[in-house]
Amino acid sequence: MLILVTYDVSVITSDGRRRLRNIAKTCLDYGIRVQNSVFECEVDPAQFVVLKSTLLDIYNSEEDSLRFYMLGKHGKQKVDHFGAKPVDDPLRDPLII
């Protein structure tokens, strides 16, 4: 099933930047980055449990926001993309939001 992971992570502090890197790295283990803070992950239910649990361990519940969208088995058919491809490293250019 396709899971969309979106997040807002405050990168004002070095701790925030570390969280952002770890969240992105974890998502990349399961899927692809389609925008700076948006990942599409093709996972089975067991993998999703691990992915979700890992992300919830990393993020800061008071400062960050984390959302999961269950797009289902035919999730790729539900997406329309327009424009530029995302940068590889969101910390390279923090002025993209």
In the complex, least distance from residue 31 CB atom to a copy of itself, rounded to whole angstroms: 14
The least CB distance from residue 83 to a copy of itself, in Å, is 5
Interface positions with a copy of itself (CB under 8 A): 4, 6-12, 20, 34-38, 52, 56, 59-72, 78-86, 90, 93-97
8 belongs to an annotated ligand binding site: yes
Q: For a copy of itself, which is the closer residue by CB, 29 or 89?
A: 89
CB of 29 or CB of 96, closer to a copy of itself: 96
Amino acid in position 58: I
60-87 burial string, b = 16+ CB within 10 Å, else e?
eeeebebeeeebeeebeeeeeeeeeeee
**Which residue from 38, 43, 41, 42 is spatially nearest to 6, judged by alpha carbons?**
38
**Least distance to a copy of itself, CB of residue 15, Å:** 13
Enter the tokens of residue 44. Answer: 């089975």
- Pairing type for strands 31-35 and 65-72 reads unpaired
Do 68 and 52 form a contact (C-beta atoms < 8 A)? Answer: yes
Closer to a copy of itself by CB, 30 or 90: give it.
Answer: 90
Sequence ranges of the binding site for Mg(2+): 8
Sequence ranges of the binding site: 8
